[in-house]
Structure 1
């Protein structure tokens, strides 16, 4: 009985906190672009629940300030009397039952939302164990946050008590306590964020020294890190070794295409192989010269993601298409994941891309017109942003390349953003048309490039882009403005066909959904999210025509591409 009375009294005194907690937790569980793993969904629910509970304290404090400031305008409060024990228990049971009923009803709605999103991206629905996993994750997260908040409250009470015992007035003691709580909160955030970033750096620095399983030092002279190479194997970095030591050989390409093939050229410079981007770029050009890269039919300058990762399906797709008569040149500018690289040095990817492309272009331009390889550029995600930043705009890009393919470009990429904003009237933002597709086209599924029809002049620029990719749509403007990609139902063309109609724009909340969706944007099948494994073959085939592959060969290449291990790219 005492426990029930205590619980009822707590609910009565903290009903504002409870409402805020339920409101924020409910918002956290509204639909987003991609489905979330159940553990992650539970973590978000528990985190937002406890943040909402703390928001209640802030609102109550604001209410007290307003009451003191405008107290004369407020009606007089009647004296309160203690709630009888039985009434308290009854009241507590009613409130508790209401909370449980709401949790069950809203939980069923959340499951239906998630299963709708999962069906749209071709994933299996959540099963029984998934529900339990989400609930346990939410409870564990809530308990952890509750413990942290209680600790901060204890600091506040301790500081207030010490100040009172030393002669401070009650009001001053309260303010001292609040100040101590604020200092404790700030210190906690600084320590957690600092420790987290320090841990990320340490983890990725250690990973950069490792070699991925299946990445052996190449013996052929066409690869960096080989015995003939000036770029030593140990200095290429983890992802550089995966790039130089992986991919199809001439024999693999011949088996898949049924035609003769040569060994592809892959050159790379690691972060330690040069004092800066200019020196590393010079090494890459020397490697291209040594390996015969300027004698190939196609030469690609590729910008990796933050950790130095190059999407293996995209690179291999071009090598299969052109029978290995290709050269791919790249270099590392960081060993940390893209979000860390962008957060602390957003211009680094573009500076590295510019240095490499300019160095390659300078040497390429010296070759006789008839002896030059076709020069292409490529980048995924932060790599797409970095490589696009190497050029002054669309005209500059088309004048200095023979083809460009950019995958999953971030929202602030240029010229992507300008092209999106100046697209042809009536074309959707997730798959726009620009000047009838004469120079630039967008693709989400194989065949989208061709379906547009009309003339597609060369050089060609192609974007691989999905309506459900949070990396492409993460724009601060979403905080206060409804985005075009959520203009209305899918049936009326107000959003992409694989974006749930249940997803609504909520000021501030939708932006936070995009931030969290980025962490799981690769954990979906191809054609959705930030996964482009099913479109890279067709993408390269269209922006670089002339490969001569038959439909049967293209299907065989696509099958081979689907078997490639992408090495868990979410964290790269």
Structure 2
């Protein structure tokens, strides 16, 4: 392998940068909980390669300073060897040194190329292993092209930005020098300029990005999903006799109120005479605050007979107002439409924005709605009350479960609860996990023999425990590969229990790759990246719970009377529901 003089010089000058770049890119490509789209993985690799390359400059400065200190200590060493008999002439030494440097650069270049090729093959095998575990097809040729293209584009963009910052630093340094500044002043002016420019770029990207996201979701909230239309059947917000206008429900509210099964379709699927399900929903603009919206929802329930149904569900949506259609429809099919669902919007932003900038809002909204519904429910004669049930998915689970002080408070106030994909800081989920029965794994815990609370990843998990499950029941739908559930800051500095060993010995979930290892700091970043693509996997994995909604409700809220054949028919319908790609909701 021969290198041009320019390439060899670049290798010699930037070897430390390249090593740092490859180290960070390599860490970014280690296996995680869920497979990533190849283009997304390429962006991650390119980003961390360029971060590592820039980090290399700091490492070189630190190494140079260390050499200077060591050099000062050894400055008294003899230089007699320079004039020893038989030594080469200065010209000969330079020529020999250049030849040796060229050969060394070629060897280093060959080594780096072999590493990239070998590690690339390992990365493909890792990704295909993760994909197989979550029932996805292996990476193909177009996938490799998408990865390389996105990686190169990301590197070019970031390299151009870095060159621009470098040019600005040089310009400021030259300006200071022309004004008579010392070498130290020139150096510090250049460094400060670089730091300030990077900070401005980062803050500008964050602020501008959030502004763009906010505008995008404001516009989305004003729009209507394809297939959503004002209800013509009674019992729906925005429909006949509704106190809430269709236009004010928000994008996801309109999808909820205008969607779901009709009584005729429920009868067609189950063979049981059905009623039209009640769906009450208030949009963000419909009320001055959460309490005003909650009162409107209660008024809507009363107007449509929601308090006369067998089951009354209070559900908290995700950040943008989205309610998982499988979970709501599953309950309506199970109880032949003799249900009422109450919910309301608290934000137009996606869940991750709502969580970062107003983490208490989901809980505040949930508590306001539940308290308003519960107060009206409690005023009814005890014999006439519907079964009061609560539900939440992801940020909605965090909000609704946080509305109660403890497990005891939750079961005292409700007849059943189902929480799906709870975030790591959810309560009482976190306390229940920490106090689970000895020997039960963290991704499939058992708490007090499952007497009140049980966890499910796949249909049948709830019923797998042999002991009695007393009512009111609390059920959690939870996957071992769901990054939203395991995204805990403690993972930065401590190996998590869900990575305590190989799957064969129970050290991790069966669909978590044995190749995944805890790496301080890196694993947390993996979870953060995985969170963005956690819906892009088949059901039973990641943050996709559509396949367990029917069995979840059937077990948490028994008494529906559906036969195994009817449950199978409902399951087939639920699996075919279009969720409208909820990844960013």
* TM-score normalised to structure 2 length: 0.95
**Distance (whole Å) between structure 2 residues aligned to residue 306 and residue 540 of structure 1:** 23
**Distance (whole Å) between structure 2 residues aligned to residue 75 and residue 523 of structure 1:** 62
Residue 401 of structure 2 corresponds to 388
Alignment of 1:157-236 (within 5 A): 157-236=170-249
1:74: how far off? 6.0
Structure 1 or 2, whichever has the larger Rg, is 2
Residue 52 of structure 2 corresponds to 52
Residue 35 of structure 1 corresponds to 35
Residue 505 of structure 1 corresponds to 518
Residue 246 of structure 1 corresponds to 259
Against the structure 1 CA distance between its residues 255 and 76, is the aligned structure 2 distance closer, same or farther, given a 3 Å change threshold?
farther
Residue 124 of structure 1 corresponds to 137
**Distance (whole Å) between structure 2 residues aligned to residue 76 and residue 566 of structure 1:** 75
Kindly indicate whether the alpha-carbon contact (under 8 Å) linking 2:454 and 2:462 is maintained by their aligned counterparts in 1.
Answer: yes
* Higher mean C-alpha deviation, range 26-35 or range 137-146: 137-146
- Residues 1:262 and 2:275 aligned together: yes
**Distance (whole Å) between structure 1 residues aligned to residue 142 and residue 537 of structure 2:** 20
Residue 86 of structure 2 corresponds to none
1:75: how far off? 7.5
**Distance (whole Å) between structure 2 residues aligned to residue 76 and residue 241 of structure 1:** 82
- Residues 1:518 and 2:534 aligned together: no
Kindly indicate whether the alpha-carbon contact (under 8 Å) linking 1:312 and 1:566 is maintained by their aligned counterparts in 2.
Answer: yes
Tell me the matched-pair count: 572
Residue 85 of structure 2 corresponds to none
**Secondary structure of 1:549's aligned partner:** coil
Residue 106 of structure 1 corresponds to 119
Kindly indicate whether the alpha-carbon contact (under 8 Å) linking 1:5 and 1:88 is maintained by their aligned counterparts in 2.
Answer: no
User: Structure 1: where are the runs of 5+ without partners?
Assistant: none
Alignment of 1:132-531 (within 5 A): 132-531=145-544
**Distance (whole Å) between structure 2 residues aligned to residue 67 and residue 395 of structure 1:** 64
**Secondary structure of 1:405's aligned partner:** strand
1:347: how far off? 0.2
**Secondary structure of 2:546's aligned partner:** coil
**Secondary structure of 1:561's aligned partner:** helix
* Higher mean C-alpha deviation, range 65-74 or range 183-192: 65-74
**Distance (whole Å) between structure 2 residues aligned to residue 89 and residue 72 of structure 1:** 30
User: Structure 2: where are the runs of 5+ without partners?
Assistant: 83-92
RMSD: 1.7
**Secondary structure of 1:247's aligned partner:** coil
Q: Deviations over 1:113-171 (max 9, x none)?
A: 00000000000111122112111111111111111111111111111111111100011
1:571: how far off? 0.3
Residue 7 of structure 2 corresponds to 7
Kindly indicate whether the alpha-carbon contact (under 8 Å) linking 2:2 and 2:106 is maintained by their aligned counterparts in 1.
Answer: no
1:91: how far off? 3.2
Residue 564 of structure 2 corresponds to 551
Against the structure 1 CA distance between its residues 74 and 185, is the aligned structure 2 distance closer, same or farther, given a 3 Å change threshold?
farther
**Distance (whole Å) between structure 2 residues aligned to residue 195 and residue 559 of structure 1:** 44
* Higher mean C-alpha deviation, range 545-554 or range 91-100: 91-100
**Distance (whole Å) between structure 2 residues aligned to residue 194 and residue 42 of structure 1:** 25
* TM-score normalised to structure 1 length: 0.98
**Secondary structure of 1:302's aligned partner:** strand
1:15: how far off? 1.1
Kindly indicate whether the alpha-carbon contact (under 8 Å) linking 1:380 and 1:408 is maintained by their aligned counterparts in 2.
Answer: yes
1:72: how far off? 3.3
1:465: how far off? 0.1
- Residues 1:571 and 2:580 aligned together: no
**Secondary structure of 1:467's aligned partner:** coil
**Secondary structure of 1:139's aligned partner:** helix
